[in-house]
Amino acid sequence: MVIELHVTVEKPPSLQDYLRNLVGVPKGLLHELRMSKEVKVNHEEPVWTHSLRKGDIISLPLFQEEVSPTPTNIDLSILYEDEHLLILNKDAGIDTHPASENDYHSLTNGVAYYFIQQSIHSKVRHIHRLDKETSGAILFAKHALSGAILDRELEARKIKRTYLALVEGLVETSQGTINKPIGKDRHHASRRRISPNGQIAITHFKVVKKFPKEKLTLVELNLDTGRTHQIRVHMSSLGHPLFGDTLYGAKSKHTRHSLHAWKLEVPQPFKQEGIFVTAPIPLNFGPPLLSLNIEKL
């Protein structure tokens, strides 16, 4: 498979600098492309160090790879798909990627099976991950080049993720920002904690609706960073752990913790347009009666 990129910038640099700095092709893949002799500019073999011109057409091969990890037939809920990426609606209770060598039932295993059925010769690349009990929109790349570009977009915060969380207690402030570093908890292998020596973590939140009778609050959240358990740790640090999240101090018990990746906005690789998807809120998100109410958002 070959994809074509149209040079739209004024006074573009050389081919190698254009692919590396403007498209986001990593060093290893750039070398592989160069050695393949299959890259063309205006259907001719290019001189990689010569400047491009606005309007040039760059043709890039997409190399076939061995599909991995082990494929498993799992029902997938597809929110969006094109030739470069796949956005799924993940159920709570399934890992994003295998939790161990002998785990063949993660979402990544299911995508590997789907790739084989669709004759997509590529290893599975999840661009971000969701905790096992977190549901909602999750992004996968279909080949190495789109994976590299999407990784770069995520790092540059151009991929926007919006979450919904049902938290214990009535949150007093209508909105706010939590800027507290997060590190590992040395007393609990799977737990994270606020730590002055941890990684920078920034979460923005706003109250969507309060449920005084149940003493719960529905909160919308956006992340500037993507630390492990970030929302769970940050909301717990405010005294409002997620409903059902006993690992971080919730008093309530539930089949899952109430966190849902609600919306996802992605700049489409190779095109000047964006993709926006909304993942329906599942009925097991919170208490049954509240979930029916929240589902109407």
Q: Can you give 144-205 as a three-state secondary structure string?
A: HHHHHHHHHHHHCCCCEEEEEEEEECCCCCCEEEEECCEEECCCCCCCEEECCCCECCEEEE
Q: Which of 287, 230, 223, 222 is nearest to 258 (CA)?
A: 287
* All residues at 6 or more sequence positions from 28 whose CB lies less than 8 Å from its CB, including other chains: none
CB contact at 8 A, 153 and 159: yes
Single-letter code of the amino acid located at 73: N
Q: CA-to-CA distance for 164 and 282, rounded, in angstroms?
A: 11
DSSP letters, 216-282, are EEEEEEEESS--TTHHHHHHHHTT-PBTT-GGGT-SS--SS--EEEEEEEEEPTTSS-EEEEEPPPP
Q: Of residues 91, 95, 131, 245, which has the active-site annotation?
A: 131
Q: CA-to-CA distance for 176 and 180, rounded, in angstroms?
A: 13
Q: CA-to-CA distance for 281 and 153, rounded, in angstroms?
A: 26
Q: Which of 227, 240, 277, 213 is nearest to 78 (CA)?
A: 277
131 flagged as catalytic: yes
Q: CA-to-CA distance for 94 and 96, rounded, in angstroms?
A: 7
Active site residues: 131
